[in-house]
């Protein structure tokens, strides 16, 4: 595994809580892994044997229904942690939405390391509570919001988690450009909408001058305040 010193997300990941000697120890039990879009790393219902930090790319957390349909239940972005430490079974699968690079640890090795490093356990707790807050907001989005509010909320959430300050900035200094890791159909599945509704709402926001759509996957947020208002 490469040195943690050169890691792109070193200062934002859970390992930011560790000193140089602790990082060296953690480095010794981990390895880097490249994933292609569509490649799975963890499977639902199987023994939890891996945990990982995302260095680059975006991955989805998904679960299957009895009739074979897939439901995306979460998305993991650079610097975020996934897997089930201190657990035995994976409750969802993890698959790369884009080409990705991850820092992978054996779950047992990571559990043993975390037990001896309270600062890392504290970071894990902070991340878990943050994910719980996001899940509660998502319950509100799915249960109470209209289609237009859902799309606006989705774009804001994606921008806040995907676009780093100073990165992918549109020529307009007040606009932010991002490349969505989702297809229109995946957005529809995540939000409980039809693909036709998703397309209509994107077109509506573009017509109103709130966003621009340079390509099928690229979105430019031109008026964040308007998008926040649309999100309710």
Task: Answer whether CATH 2.40.30.40 is correct for domain 146-230.
Answer: no
Strand partners, 34: 101
**CA 88, CA 45: separation in Å to the nearest integer?**
10
Domain boundaries, the chain: 4-138, 146-230
**CA 158, CA 231: separation in Å to the nearest integer?**
13
| More confident call, 84 vs 34 | 34
CATH architecture of the domain formed by 4-138: Sandwich (2.60)
* Distance spanning both ends of the chain, measured CA to CA: 45
CA distances from 105 to 3, 60, 91, 121, 210 (A): 15, 19, 18, 15, 42
**CA 3, CA 23: separation in Å to the nearest integer?**
9
**What mean pLDDT do residues 143-157 have?**
89
12 exposure class (CB count in 10 Å sphere: 0-12, 13-18, 19+) = middle
Phi, psi of 76 (to 5 degrees): -115, 125
CB 100 within 8 A of CB 77: no
Q: Which residue is it, tokens 């017509």? A: 207
Phi, psi of 171 (to 5 degrees): -55, -30
Q: Same fold for the domain at 4-138 and the one at 146-230?
A: no
**CA 138, CA 161: separation in Å to the nearest integer?**
14
Q: Which of 36-40, 92-96, 159-163 has the lowest mean pLDDT?
A: 159-163
Question: Could you count the other beta carbons within 10 Å of the beta carbon of residue 167?
Answer: 10
Greatest mean pLDDT among 5-19, 133-147, 150-164 = 150-164
Judged against a pLDDT cut of 60, whether residue 98 lies above it is answered with yes
Judged against a pLDDT cut of 50, whether residue 21 lies above it is answered with yes
Q: What is the pLDDT of residues 162-203, one digit of tens each?
A: 765 434 444 444 578 899 988 898 888 888 889 999 999 999
pTM beyond cutoff 0.75: yes
Q: Which of 1-15, 92-106, 125-139, 167-181 has the lowest mean pLDDT?
A: 167-181
| More confident call, 131 vs 147 | 147
């Amino acid at each position: 595994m490469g040195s943690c010193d050169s890691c792109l997300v070193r200062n934002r990941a859970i390992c930011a809580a560790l000193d140089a000697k602790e990082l060296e120890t953690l480095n010794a039990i981990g390895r880097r892994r490249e994933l292609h879009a569509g490649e799975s790393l963890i499977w639902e219902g199987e023994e939890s044997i891996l945990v990982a930090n995302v260095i680059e790319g975006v991955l989805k957390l998904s679960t299957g229904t009895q009739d074979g349909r897939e439901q995306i239940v979460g998305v993991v972005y650079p610097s975020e942690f996934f897997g089930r430490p201190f657990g035995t079974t994976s409750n969802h699968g993890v698959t790369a939405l884009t080409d990705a690079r991850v820092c992978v640890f054996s779950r047992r090795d990571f559990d043993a390391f975390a037990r001896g490093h309270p600062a890392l356990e504290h970071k894990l707790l902070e991340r878990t509570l943050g994910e719980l807050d996001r899940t509660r907001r998502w319950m509100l989005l799915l249960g109470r919001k209209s289609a237009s509010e859902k799309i606006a909320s989705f774009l804001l959430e994606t921008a806040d988690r995907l676009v780093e300050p100073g990165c992918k900035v549109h020529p307009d200094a007040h606009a932010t450009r991002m490349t969505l890791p989702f297809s229109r159909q995946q957005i529809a599945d995540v939000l409980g909408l039809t693909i036709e509704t998703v397309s209509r709402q994107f077109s509506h926001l573009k017509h109103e001058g709130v966003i621009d759509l340079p390509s099928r996957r690229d979105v430019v947020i031109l008026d964040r305040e308007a998008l926040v208002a649309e999100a309710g």
